[in-house]
Amino acid sequence: MLDGPFSEAKALTAGYTLIQATSREDALEWTRRFPNTAVDAKVGEIGGRQRFGPKDFGPGEAIERVREMGLGTDK
């Protein structure tokens, strides 16, 4: 049986969830609610990253192009 090119492919379960939080503390509280997805009594790991949008950047040619294309619009 061939599982793929990576010998340890079964050792990793990954995914992502986007949440909208009002503060860093709110975001941390959300991460505490996530279930441990590890199996066999192992410990899982959750990492958090802040999402940035056009409002987070100053004026510039690149950000203006993004706005003109309607991409990355903040709501």
46: CB partners within 8 A, 6+ apart: 31, 34
State residue 19's pLDDT score: 86
Distance of alpha carbon 19 from alpha carbon 30, whole angstroms: 8
State which amino acid sits at residue 45. Answer: E
- % the chain with pLDDT above 70: 72
Task: Give the largest CA-CA distance in the chain.
Answer: 55
List the single range of 15-19, 39-43, 52-56 with lowest mean pLDDT.
Answer: 39-43
Q: How confident is the model at residue 25 (pLDDT cuts 50, 70, 90)?
A: very high
- State pTM to two decimals: 0.50
Among residues 2, 5, 34, 4, the alpha carbon closest in space to that of 18 is found at 34
Q: Decide: 46 and 27 in contact? Cβ < 8 Å.
A: no
Q: Per-residue pLDDT for 75 more than 60?
A: no
